[in-house]
Amino acid sequence: MWSKHIIVKYFALQLVGWLLVLGGLWFAAEIFAWPKHFVWIGLAVWMAKDVALYPFLWRAYDERSAPTAYPRQGEEGVVLDRLDPIGSVRVGGERWRARAHAHDSTNPRIEAGERVRIVACEGMTLLVERADAGRSNEDERRNA
């Protein structure tokens, strides 16, 4: 939330609005013979509004959390049609074409109902492995 990059981006984009408000208030002050301090008070109120809204809007300026049409690497799902090596999986409520990504090519088959983890994406096909395969690899590294 308090990333320097996000704060700079947010306020740089607000700058155009502040200039338009300043111009509009200045023009209104000339037409209606308002005192010039009304212009500065109005601009300060407008800027305070932008500062107050920042905690609610900062996520829209963060590219790292940008939504994507594809499930993210590491997400888990369930096999719907046996992967031999191609079949389908359900990830996040959506059905996806998937291919088994076997570390050992002796048994790339994954049966329906098994949990899988996304390893990568090739076009519209997800590369998946058994959900417990990643854990067993981590366990092997720790025990070595």
pLDDT above 60: residue 4 = yes
Question: β-strand 76-81 against 115-122: which pairing, if any?
Answer: antiparallel
61/3 Cα distance (integer angstroms) = 11
Residue 140 lies in a domain: no
Q: Answer positive or negative: Cα dihedral of 127, 131, 133, 135.
A: positive
Residue the block writes with tokens 């939330």: 1
CATH at 110: 2.40.50.140
Which of 65, 90, 116 is the last residue before a domain boundary?
65
The reply to whether 59 and 100 lie within a common domain is: no
Neighbours of 116 (CB within 10 A): 26
* Domain range enclosing 51: 4-65
Distance from C-alpha of 67 to C-alpha of 8, rounded to nearest angstrom: 22
Interval 43-88: pLDDT, tens: 999 999 999 999 999 888 887 766 777 888 899 999 999 998 899 9
What's the pLDDT tens digit per position in 80-126?
999 988 999 999 899 999 999 866 566 678 999 999 999 999 989 99
